[in-house]
Amino acid sequence: MKTLYNILAGTFIVSFLLTAATGCASKKIPASDKAKAVSEMINSKSYVFKAEYALPRSGTSRNLTPDYYLTVSPDTIISNLPFFGRAYTAPIDPTKGGFKFTSTDFEYTFSERRKGGWQVSIKPNDTRDVQQLTLDISENGYASLRVISNSREPMAFNGYITERKNRK
């Protein structure tokens, strides 16, 4: 009797998991549609890079909270990213740590990579600290951001891009 109960319970659990897995799989966005959406975001300069991991040049990688981002719009770049590493000059105001800036004068170029995806280069002209931002974006939206600074060690971030919500 106990064996029969275990078999029935196991069958129920397996059938429940299979039903849940097929239900979730049917809701996934097809890869071609995802690549098309990512391409449109890059072409229109309208997306947000959400940083999930910080990769300092020296030290270990760190998980980040969802509060860190880089917003790209046709006329403005807004950066709210942390910094871990060696700074060659320290800011006078301790709250100005990290890569926190807003730029309205910048150069934005992008190119397709040979194996799929895009490379986006952003050069802000009106910030003193950040020299260049380089995003390597895959077709499914995952991205890696490299930040080159004038007064700090270079740093990288891993995350993903998502649609920018327009403010009304």
In a domain, 7, yes or no: no
Q: What pLDDT is stored for residue 2 in this prediction?
A: 60
Range with top average pLDDT, 37-41, 114-118, 132-136, 161-165: 132-136
Which pLDDT score, from 0 to 100, does residue 33 have? 81
CB 83 within 8 A of CB 68: no
Lowest-pLDDT range, 18-27, 69-78, 108-117? 18-27
Of 166, 138, 167, the closest CA to residue 42 belongs to 138
The structure tokens listed for 124 are 């802000």
- Quote the tokens at residue 117: 């995806």
Eight-state DSSP code of residue 164? P
27 pLDDT above the threshold of 50: no
What is this structure's pTM?
0.75
Distance separating alpha carbons of residues 100 and 76, to the nearest angstrom? 13
pLDDT band, residue 3 (cuts 50/70/90): low
What confidence score (pLDDT) does residue 85 get? Answer: 79
Of residues 151, 124, 142, the one with CA closest to residue 51 = 142
Residue 93 lies in a domain: yes
Query: What CATH number should be reported for the domain holding residue 154?
Result: 2.40.128.410
Cα gap 127→88, rounded to integer Å: 17
pLDDT of residue 61: 85
Q: Structural domain tally of the chain?
A: 1
DSSP assignment letter at 60? -
- Domain with 65, as residue range(s), is 31-163
